[in-house]
Structure 1
Amino acid sequence: MFSKFLRNIHFIAFFTITSVILWGCGQRGAPSGGPRDITPPEVVQSYPKKMGTNFKGSEIFWKFDEYVTNTGLAQELLISPPVNHPPSIKLIGKKLTLKFDTVLNENTTYSIYLGKGIKDLNEGNPLENNLFIFSTGDQIDSLSFHGEIYDGETMQPMNEGMIHLYKEVDDSVPAQQIPSYFAKINEGHFHFSNLSEGEYKLIALVDNNGNYLYDLPNEKIAFVAEPIRVTEYQDSLEIVLKSFITPDQRQFISSKKCDFNGVIQLEFNQPVQKCNIEMMDHSFKKDWKIEQWNNTRNLLTIWSTEILEQDSIHLLVSFDEELDTIFFDLSKRKKIRDQPLTVEHNFEGLGNSYKKKLALTFSQPISSYDVSKFQLQNPYDTTNIQISQENELLIVDEIFQESTHYTLQLLPQAVKSIFDVYNTDTISLHFSTTSTASLGNLNINYNFEQANQHGVLQVYREQKLIKEVKVLNQQGLVSLEGIQPGDYQLKYISDWDNNGVWSAGNYWTKQQPENVYWYSEPINLRANWDLDVNWQLIP
């Protein structure tokens, strides 16, 4: 029995020691396999050879030094000059084959860009030598040029679309033929290489329907008006393009709305120069409406007390030599006079200068107000104030104190709208002014003599437009007093058509978009500072 006990002890000891050894081995983990493979695949054979000439076949292949995957190759593949039909793609093991169903052009240098469509199978390292050049003739074309492309309105580098190059230079070519050569856009840059000598038409296109043609009105385009010439003496030209979408120049009413009986909104496709609106089958001794336009004059709000009792109305709208009739069924719409009167003001948030005028905007046009029912409270007292009316705004004619909290109270029946709607309850508006020491002054001395005669100067604070000035003189001063500290940007639009906004171009009339310039230096306005900025524009 004792010997059996010893045998059990020996077995337990052996099992324990073995378990410890195995556990220790387990703790060291599986073999790591060495450092991660970061080596991209390489081409060890191709047909034709890279930079090869006199290629006459219909198949091109590459053999790689390791197994690869072609996921995404169909989207990355770029062949220039383009072919009528994309080749079929076949990957077997380490061999990639492109098969063309049409004969390639004679005496032409081709570039095949594989992009990041070829990666090694294990780690996904993309092929680095991904540009393959060959010729169907007896020589490789070697001329080149490059350029930059920006969004015409923002002047930000583009990163979408393609650059198209055509051997035929007629203006109709981009709408009728696929380009002779392509180039990709990479952060605003593009490059053409291996070109033959000659004249070319050049455009950039964001091709919305993917047919390589400029055939949709909403496709973004950039162009050079005249053909460019590439020669051995003018190699490596540099070109700057500015893209745009040509707006629909037709003038029409794009939308109409009548949420409440008493107010109508009409939106136009283009800013309106002249407009007249009549109510059909009705005549009035006086004007039956109040018109309010937005700043760009493409949105019109019509207020009228005359339509409140109507079940329906027909409007005859004449605008910019166009004519339209509009019908509204008013029988089931709520009346605007049953809606409460609300108010907004322009002292929202912090950083309001005490020199700023307080402007009140109401949800309905105001017909009258009782100034005795406007009370301004500060921490020390309550006072009555003076009010003036400017179009749809009520302006508080009061000199405020800096660093002060205010409450403006509109007592019941302080204001009445044209629909005989009063404020039935007291309206309390809370706002504050900041200290002068916490604000700054920005003085912009500009000289735009070398730009267009007319323009628009825009001031942005941290990418938000805060001030817009129409420039009539080529030199001048714009002062912004009591504004918040921060980073500011200046933008100038050469307003060739003098419409007050940036205008796009038109490829068919060879009209380029209006030039846009940004002040290149950082502008950091600090509190309690006067900052002078001198901007001499040199296009």
Structure 2
Amino acid sequence: MMLNRKGSVFSKFLAPLSLLLLIIGCAVQQKPQGGPRDTQAPKLLKAEPANMTKRFSSKEIKLDFDEYFKLTNQFQEFVVFPSPDKIPDYKVRGKSLIIELKDTLQKNTTYVINFGKGLVDVNEGNVLKNFTYVFATGDHIDSLSISGTVTNNTTQLKEKDATVMLFTLKQDSLLFGKKKPSLFTTTDSAGNFTLSNLREGMYRIYALKETAPDKIYNNDNDLIAFTSNAINLTKDTSNVALKLFKQSPTKLRLVDRKFNQDGSLFFSVNRPLIRPTVKILYPAGLDAQKITEFAPTSDTVNLYSKNMDFDSIQVAFFEDGKPVDTTSLRKGRKETFTRNLSFKYGVSIMSELKPGNDLKLYANLPIETFEQGLITLKEDSNNVAFTLTKDTGTTKRYTIKHRWRQKAKYVLTIGESAFTSIYGDKSKKQSRTFNIATPESFSNLNLTMNVPDSTKSYVVELLNEQRVPIRRDVITKKTKLSYLNYYVGKFTVRVVYDNNKNGKWDSGIVAKKSQPENIWVYEKTFTLRPNWETEESIEIPPEVIVP
């Protein structure tokens, strides 16, 4: 019988080939497929001694978790109350946290170890928030609590991840704004908070939304909240309302000072100035020919000097006629600067001018002179007459008036050397094409504002989609406000309870425990559509005073 040599050869190589493929398959590392992302923070499985232990006498605490974790910012996040003289040691061993107590514990005292946001899982960084370990050296564990909500006063929205801090009255003057608190918690996604295992006593409570996570109110940009009165804690206290606000700085501070590329001086301060002015103290004679341009917010200013032949300059700032600060800057006497005289135009991004508006020109440098004969305006290719005037109070803004016509195409041409800056820079030839927007592109919003008390003042603000005020009106009685020819978009209404009747919102003062002026935000959003008119009657509710 003849053997099948072909099959025999194939069988000979089959076993080694299968082994090779198996080895290659095992060597190839593939990304695990499927499965939801882990969103759970580590969970405590066991504590030795147990959480809420009485007659505690151990020198070591062991906390076992269900997954591997790491410690982050433990010196900022981990605190013990009452504070021991010697800080405990925190060590990670596998899935366990070992806490070594190095100080002698007080008798008959409840201790709370707060881990803040300092314990997170290794893989996804999920934070175990507001986790505490509580024990007592006596037969009683303090069990009083304080709970409430934190709201942003400006937006009237609940604030999540705000730090709520509690100080005893003795600690308040010693620690607030200087050291982090021993008693704190973090608000949940609905702005709620609870501080537990508290003993009877007098407390001050604050909420803080920080720019830097150190749990210390030490930055002008931090949001702060507090109750005007201390809390006398003798029983569980709930419904504590804390309203976050940004305090206007009590001390004026120069934030920035520099020479711009065009040679102008730029200054910014940490708060708006009331009726601000600037004076050049040195060199002598320079103040008489300076030009100042304050921003509408009154916290920044550009200072222009035609004479740049100096190596140092000293500037004084005044608020309502009173000196508030002085600063100096140096430069090379013959230092050169880069300037290019240019303009922006008061038309929309669609190159449309609102019906009934004049055309505005905004120069980037102060203008010394202009020649209208070097400027032309064409209407459908035909030259037309116009008037050009400089706006009062500024050397950088001009107005062009003309009897604008619908459906016409306009071209404004600024000729060579039509404008001359204070430095002698000449404008280059440039043109801008635009047309007049049709009334059908805009909307009207008519609001009837009903006030709860005609003896008081209210500031009504219309906010755009970015929550930026685009118009303010002060009212004291039932008033109809008409917002005419507004571009389509979403708008909301915010009302300031203007208690001091100065026509603006005033912040609180932490040191005086005075609250900011309250704000109310209308719950409805107005969506304006083209060629649309909306009517709405709004009832401003009575002011709710936070104690």
TM-score calculated relative to the size of structure 2? 0.77
In structure 1, the residue matched to 2:402 is 398
Match of 1:479 among 457, 482, 491: 482
SS across alignment from 1:437: helix
Asked if the contact 2:130/2:185 (under 8 Å) is kept, the reply is: no
Deviations 1:426-481 (A, max 9, x none): 43122233322222112233345559955654333220636232525454333222
Report the secondary structure of 1:57's partner residue.
Answer: coil
Please state how far the C-alpha of 1:386 moved relative to its aligned partner.
2.4
CA distance in 2 between partners of 1:444 and 1:173 (Å): 50
Equivalent residues of 2:83, 2:182 under 8 A apart: no
Task: Specify whether residues 35 and 406 from structure 1 end up closer, same or farther in structure 2 by C-alpha distance, changes over 3 A only.
Answer: closer
Deviation of 1:49 after TM superposition, in Å, equals 2.7
> For 1:384, what is the secondary structure of its paired residue?
coil
Are positions 1:182 and 2:184 aligned together?
A: yes
Partner of 1:71: 70
Name the structure 2 match of 1:513: 516
Q: Are 1:162 and 2:163 counterparts?
A: yes
Matched, 1:194 2:186: no
Larger radius of gyration: 1
- Change in Cα spacing, 1:141 to 1:344, as seen in structure 2 (3 Å) is same
Distance 1:475 1:109, change over 3 A: farther
The separation in 1 between residues aligned to 2:36 and 2:265, in whole angstroms, is: 68
Checking the alignment, whether the CA contact within 8 Å between 1:52 and 1:133 is kept in structure 2 is yes
Q: Which residue of 2 aligns with 1:468?
A: 471
**Comparing 39-48 with 507-516, which one deviates more in the overlay?**
39-48
Aligned partners of 1:420, 1:287: CA distance in 2, in Å?
A: 19
Residues 25-55 of structure 1 show CA distances to partners (whole Å, capped at 9, x for unaligned) of 999999x999999899876653333333222
Change (3 A) 1:21 1:46: closer
Q: Find the aligned partners of 2:120 and 2:491 in 1 and give their Cα distance.
A: 45
Asked if the contact 1:354/1:399 (under 8 Å) is kept, the reply is: no
Counterparts of 1:402-421 in structure 2 under 5 Å?
A: 402-418=406-422
C-alpha distance 26-272 of structure 1, shift in aligned 2 (>3 A): closer
Deviates more, 1:445-454 or 1:371-380: 445-454
Q: Determine if contact 2:53/2:136 at 8 Å carries over to the other structure.
A: yes
Deviation per residue, 1:217-255 (Å, 9 max, x gap): 6655322221113333x5433322324355252366952
Q: Secondary structure at the residue paired with 2:530?
A: coil
- Name the SS of the counterpart of 1:52 in structure 2: coil
From 422, 433, 449, the equivalent of 2:436 is: 433
SS of 1:193's partner is strand
Q: 1:345/1:202 Cα in 2 relative to 1: closer, same or farther (>3 Å)? A: same
Q: Does 2:145 align with 1:144?
A: yes
- The whole-number CA distance in structure 1 between the counterparts of 2:168 and 2:484 is 56
Native 8 Å contact 1:371 1:385 kept in 2:
no
Please tell me whether the aligned partners of residues 408 and 430 of structure 1 are also in contact (alpha carbons under 8 angstroms). Answer: yes
Q: Partners of 2:430 and 2:148 in 1: how far apart?
A: 60
Q: CA, structure 1 residues 533+429, in 2 after alignment: closer, same or farther (shift >3 Å)?
A: same
Distance in 1 of aligned mates of 2:297 and 2:92: 57
Instruction: Look up the match of 1:342.
Output: 342
In the alignment, the residues of structure 2 paired with residue 177 and residue 128 of structure 1 have an alpha-carbon distance, to the nearest angstrom, of 21
Q: 2:468 is paired with a residue of what secondary structure?
A: strand
For residues 462 and 40 of structure 1, the distance between their equivalents in structure 2, rounded to whole angstroms, comes to 35
Is this contact kept in 2: 1:244–1:513, CA < 8 A?
no
One of 10, 13, 25 as aligned partner of 1:12: 10
Residue 9 to residue 102, structure 1, CA distance change in 2 (3 Å): same
The yes-or-no answer on 1:293 pairing with 2:294 is: yes
Q: Which residue of 1 aligns with 2:244?
A: 242
How far apart, CA to CA, are the structure 2 residues paired with 1:490 and 1:535? 10
**Cα contact 1:81–1:179 (8 A) shared by 2:** no
What SS does the aligned partner of 1:71 have? strand
Distance change (3 Å), C-alpha of 1:355 and 1:53 = same
RMSD value over aligned CA atoms? 4.7
Task: State the Cα distance separating 1:403 from its structure 2 match.
Answer: 5.0
Which of residues 203, 207, 224 is equivalent to 1:204? 207
In 2, Cα distance between the equivalents of 1:451 and 1:80? 52
Q: Show the counterpart of 1:358.
A: 359
Cα deviation for residue 527 of structure 1 reads: 1.1
Q: Secondary structure at the match of 1:12?
A: helix
Q: Counterpart of 2:400 in 1: which secondary structure?
A: strand
Please tell me the residue identity of whatever aligns with 1:48: P
- Displacement of 1:314 in angstroms is 5.4
Measure how far apart 1:191 and its partner are.
1.2
Q: For residues 483 and 352 of structure 1, do their structure 2 counterparts lie closer, same or farther at Cα, with a shift above 3 Å needed?
A: farther
- The alpha-carbon distance between structure 1 residues 273 and 72, as it changes in their structure 2 partners (threshold 3 A), is same
Whole-angstrom CA distance in 2 between matches of 1:481 and 1:96:
64
Q: Given the superposition, is the C-alpha separation of residues 114 and 467 from structure 1 closer, same or farther in structure 2, using an over 3 Å criterion?
A: closer
**CA drift at 1:88:** 2.2
Q: Would you say 1:51 and 2:35 are equivalent positions?
A: no
Distance 1:480 1:26, change over 3 A: same
Distance in 1 of aligned mates of 2:299 and 2:138 = 58
1:81 Cα deviation after fit? 2.8
**Alpha carbons of 1:372 and 1:299: their partners in 2 closer, same or farther (altered >3 Å)?**
same
* Code of the aligned partner of 1:341: L
- Deviation of 1:528 after TM superposition, in Å, equals 0.9
Q: Deviations over 1:97-126 (max 9, x none)?
A: 322112344444444566787789999999
Aligned residue identity for 1:411: G
1:127-182 C-alpha deviation (Å, 9 max, x unpaired): 89965444333233333232222444455544455222123357514336764522
Aligned pairs, how many? Answer: 527
Pair 438,318 (structure 1): closer, same or farther in 2 beyond 3 Å: closer
In 2, are the aligned partners of 1:353 and 1:483 still within 8 Å (CA)? no
8 A Cα contact 1:174 1:213, kept in partner: no
* Sequence identity percentage: 22
Please tell me whether the aligned partners of residues 153 and 502 of structure 1 are also in contact (alpha carbons under 8 angstroms): no
Partner Cα distance (2:507, 2:459) in 1: 15
**Take 2:48 and 2:184, find their aligned partners in 1: how far apart are those partners?**
23
For 2:130 and 2:180, the matched residues in 1 are separated by: 27
1:345 deviates by 1.2
The one-letter code matched in structure 2 to 1:147 is G
SS in 2 for 1:354: coil
What is the SS of the residue equivalent to 2:440? helix
CA contact (8 A) 1:164 1:203 kept: yes
Q: Does the CA-based 8 Å contact 2:70-2:122 persist in structure 1?
A: no
The secondary structure found in structure 1 opposite 2:51 is coil
Cα distance in 1 for residues equivalent to 2:450 and 2:385: 46
Q: Which deviations, in whole Å up to 9, do the C-alpha atoms of 1:364-388 show, x marking residues without a partner?
A: 3345544454432233643121233
Give distance in 1, aligned partners of 2:56 and 2:245: 38
Corresponding residue of 1:319 = 318
Q: Deviations over 1:345-377 (max 9, x none)?
A: 110412642222211122333455444544322
Provide, for residues 478-524 of structure 1, a one-character-per-residue CA deviation record: whole Å limited to 9, x for no partner.
32222211111333344566776654433212233343332221211
| Aligned position for 2:531 | 528
Cα contact 1:73–1:115 (8 A) shared by 2: no
Q: Which amino acid aligns with 1:394?
A: Y
Quickly say closer, same or farther: Cα 1:135–1:23, change in 2 above 3 A. same
Which amino acid in 2 is paired with 1:100?
L
Question: Normalising by structure 1, what TM-score?
Answer: 0.78
* Structure 2 unmatched ranges of 5 or more: none
- Which whole-Å deviations, capped at 9, do the CAs of 1:289-308 have from their partners, x for residues lacking one? 44433213333444454x26
Equivalent-residue separation in structure 1 for 2:206 and 2:424 (angstroms): 60
